[in-house]
Structure 1
Amino acid sequence: MLAAIPFPNLSPEIFTLSLGSFEFSLRWYALAYIAGLGFAWAFARWLVQRPGLWPAGQAPMTAAQVEDFMTWAVLGVVLGGRLGFVLFYQPAYYLAHPAEILMVWQGGMAFHGGFLGVVVAAVIFVRRNGLPWLSTGDLIAISVPIGLMLGRLANFINAELWGRPTDVPWGVIFPGAAAQACGDPCVRHPSQLYQAGLEGFALFAVLVFVALRLRGFLKPGLIMGLFVAGYGAARVIVEGFRQPDAQFITPDNPLGQVFLGLTMGQLLSVPMLLIGVSLAKWAARR
């Protein structure tokens, strides 16, 4: 038996209320979304109230506009995340079952789709309100990583999106489908925690350091470029430890590679890395 960490006794549900035939459960994943959006709203408000951080002493939004944009962001995350999952990961299934596309409570969200959804929401909001494009993008970008971290921690609590089998001493014995996929017990990389650390905490720390200590907001587009590149790089790395999506695994393709040896997550993240690096370099040289 390999050295491993047993999965902690965690329930995906925080509590459940039952009133007759009505039952309501608050899940950690839902709380992660709420807390992440709440932090983004509070942090963005804090930043726009410090005009000295921004070019010409002018923040890209007012505090009221930050609050208005949160509604757009929620729609972008939910609709984009769901449509991204449908189009990128299971198009054939949802083409055959179109009525299930809007059943978000059944699970199935994709970060890259949510990212594109927020981009579309931001473009519409910026144009409607006449806001500066790049500085608004910087403000949105720096507010996102903590929400990503909370979402990945919720993935860990749900024992989903686990990593590949491993013999490292910090491997985790995940229950349920993870164990059934390779025999019980099955030691796997806690890739959700890797993503929480890289996409969330580490990326947030870098962006805050550049923005507040190095005055990065004074070069519009720099923070946004670093966020896009940082997420792309983190996802490409962690995909090497994460169990591929089941729909891409075959006996001849156990690593779930879809193109040029890349998984779907890597294939969607490489363009983010290249675009983000290019944007950050361009902004830094202005």
Structure 2
Amino acid sequence: MEATKPGEKPLILSAITAATPHLRFTDLGLDPIALDLGFFQIKWYSLAYITGILLGWWYLLKLLAQPGAPMARRHADDLVFYATLGIILGGRIGYVLFYATDMLANPLRILRLWDGGMSFHGGVIGTSLALILFARKHKLNWLRVHDYVACVVPFGLFFGRLANFVNGELWGKPSNVAWAIIFPRTGEDVARHPSQLYEAGLEGLLLFALLWFAFWKTKARYAPGRLVGLFVLGYGMARFVVEFFREPDSQLVEFAQATGLHMGQWLCVPMILGGAYLVATSAGRRQRIEPIAGSESVA
């Protein structure tokens, strides 16, 4: 049926829209707390970090079992310790410097990790520094170590973004798409993009698939810097695009309006450029690889 006035929706379409309102986040029955014992709580966000690290460690062992590995099985446990410190310290410090400089006025707030607030870009910097120290300690090729670690990072990104969704945080911009969700913490009865799920799909699943293919189906692991370059480039592009569907952090709305881009997008620019450089120059770093474990050499 046609609308009776110019600009109106057809009556049938209006009836369907009214009959199928957007999903409310509260209807999903999700709770940020996974286990509540009264005196002790375990949150999904914490479990996301733990699950990502454990799965990453397990997958890393699978990668190291292949010819030409840059380190031995015995190095993996030590590496996980260094990487975990880098993630936590870098992520928290990065959040303070990039998103919440007001915390510098009260340094004790920085230690309140349970209040939330982690920056992926800060975590990348912290982890990279930690891996460089780890490689120097064990006299390993730091760039090739980065290549292998890059392949496991999507596990943490996937579960971390799912935890953001469970927390009902980092929501997207208002939208009329059929899968838009009304998040109560916004304080508005407005449906929005579930941008957390977009990021889980792009930064987690898609990026993992890309790196899986590059590692197992090509010779990328023998060109130092190619795998980590693919990761940095892929993440930077995925995050840059998703930010167009995501609301900026409340304290950075004016910054986004003034610069035309979100803080997350500005931080992705050097990632995209750096990742493209690593990929483009990786062929020139290809060399005969002498594995740390085993006896097989790979040219």
- What is the TM-score when the length of structure 1 is the normalising length? 0.89
**1:203 aligned residue:** 207
CA pair 121-209 structure 1, distance change in 2 beyond 3 A? same
Q: How much does 1:50 deviate?
A: 1.6
Q: After superposition, give the CA deviation of every residue in 1:170-226 in whole Å (9 maximum; x if it has no partner).
A: 101112x22x1xx22x10000000000001100000000011011211212110100
Q: CA deviation at 1:90?
A: 1.2
Matches within 5 A, 1:75-94: 75-91=85-101, 93-94=102-103
Aligned residue type for 2:97: L
Identity of aligned residues (%): 47
Using the TM superposition, give the Cα deviation of residue 248 of structure 1 relative to its aligned residue in structure 2, in angstroms.
1.5
Please list every run of 5 or more consecutive structure 2 residues that lacks an aligned counterpart in the other structure. 1-17, 286-299
CA contact (8 A) 1:257 1:264 kept: no
Superposition pairs of residues 238-257 of structure 1, within 5 angstroms: 238-250=242-254, 256-257=256-257
> 1:50-82: per-residue Cα shift (whole Å, max 9, x none)?
22xx3xxxx111112111111111111111111
The count of aligned residue pairs is: 265
Higher radius of gyration, 1 or 2: 2
Residue in 2 aligned with 1:167?
176
Q: Give 1:13's aligned residue.
A: 33
Mapped partners of 1:86, 1:134: distance in 2? 28
- List alignment gaps of at least 5 residues for structure 1: none
Q: Distance in 1 between matches of 2:128 and 2:138?
A: 15
Superposition deviation, residue 257 in structure 1: 3.8
Structure 1 equivalent of residue 220 of structure 2: 216
Q: Tell me, in whole angstroms, the C-alpha distance in 2 between the residues paired with 1:201 and 1:233.
A: 14
Tell me if 1:36 matches 2:35.
no
Aligned to 1:231: 235
**3-state SS of 1:34 partner:** helix
CA–CA separation in structure 2 for the residues paired with 1:258 and 1:124: 38
1:3 deviates by 4.3
Post-superposition Cα deviations, 1:214-270, rounded to whole Å, max 9, x if no partner, equal 1211212110100000010011000000111101224xx7xx3453x2210000011
Superposed, 1:1-286 pairs within 5 Å as 3-7=21-25, 8-18=28-38, 23-51=39-67, 54=68, 59-91=69-101, 93-175=102-184, 177-178=185-186, 180=187, 183-184=188-189, 186-250=190-254, 256-257=256-257, 259=259, 261-284=260-283, 286=285
CA distance in 1, matches of 2:218, 2:23: 40
Residues 1:169 and 1:200: Cα distance change in structure 2 (over 3 Å): same
SS class of match (2:34): strand
CA gap of 1:258–1:226, structure 2 versus 1, over 3 A, is farther
Aligned-residue offset at 1:6 = 2.6
Distance 2:57 2:258 in 1: 37
Partner SS state of residue 240, structure 1: helix
- SS at 2:244 equivalent: coil
When normalised by structure 2's length, the TM-score is: 0.86
- Assess, with a 3 A threshold, how the Cα gap between structure 1 residues 44 and 76 changes in structure 2: closer, same or farther: same
